[in-house]
Structure 1
Amino acid sequence: MNTAIDLSNALRQLPLEAPANNAWPALQAHLPRKRVWLKPALAMVASTALAVLLWQAGGEPVTTPGVGEATLAEQAEIETLMEHSARLETAFYAQQDDAISSASVIAANLGIEDQLAVIDAGLSEQPAPEQARALWQQRVNLLDQGLQLNRTNADFNAAGRHYDLALATTN
């Protein structure tokens, strides 16, 4: 027996009173606390760490007697990569928007941040110039990928489409 119900009238007839015992406070007490990510604070810490590294280097390429032109060129390339990394990192954190991002995009951003932490730990050990250049290049590439991910996610959301659905349809 199918009976047609006028849903809008049925909902209007429901009482507007709250229940006598609200279960939310008890439920909320058992939920784990959400970790708050302060993106501006993280960006400030990263840029401060970069500034300290640049300050320790004295802002000028360090030269040792007998070092050839290749080392000077490598140091200049490292400085260029450091500057590029700083610009990309600022843009990467500015592009992140958890309000429009899906869980997979947020997880990818967190994964990128974890990988950046590993690279930064390697750089803090003051490796040889060749290895430092490789680490800075990895950092630039990683930030560029993260920036592209966030821009694509924002573009899809602006068009009313979901990034995860677009990924699923390409597989």
Structure 2
Amino acid sequence: MEEKEKGSKGGSEERWKGAIANLTEMTSNLDSLQKLLLKKAVFVDDETFSKASLTSEQARTIKVLEQRVETLERELDAAISAAARARAEKRQAEAAQKAAELRAQEITRELENTTKVFELHMEELRAKQEEISKRDSDIKLLEAIIQTLGGKESRSTSG
């Protein structure tokens, strides 16, 4: 796309340069004619004077148009530069967004892994709690047996 822009700009630029060169040459010719007329101060007929006046007016118009072309060329160059900057900023923003998305995915994976580890620890804690509860029940049963056996011994020794 940029090559296409450069190609069309190059062709357009060459046409403008050619037009400006032609206008510059015409201006020079008009200046020479004006100097010649001033030096010679010759009377000319109305038709020649009209043509010279028209040519002079055209020279002034050409000068204004040349300035306008130069202004437009500068504006075009500025617009092209701004577009290039905007494209570069867009690429940077897209790269930053992609990096942020990758970071978010990485954090999500870390959270999922942490959750899995937490679940495993919870399962282990539940198993330990069940084991402790079972042993606690066994201890209470053994205490009850000991008390029962201990109570029979004291009755049999006292009776």
Same fold by TM (over 0.5)? no
The structure, 1 or 2, with the larger RCO (C-alpha pairs under 8 Å, 6+ apart) is: 1
Taking structure 1 as the reference length, what is the TM-score of the superposition? Answer: 0.30
Q: Counting helix residues as a fraction of each chain, which structure ranks higher? A: 2
The structure with more radius of gyration? 2
Taking structure 2 as the reference length, what is the TM-score of the superposition? Answer: 0.32
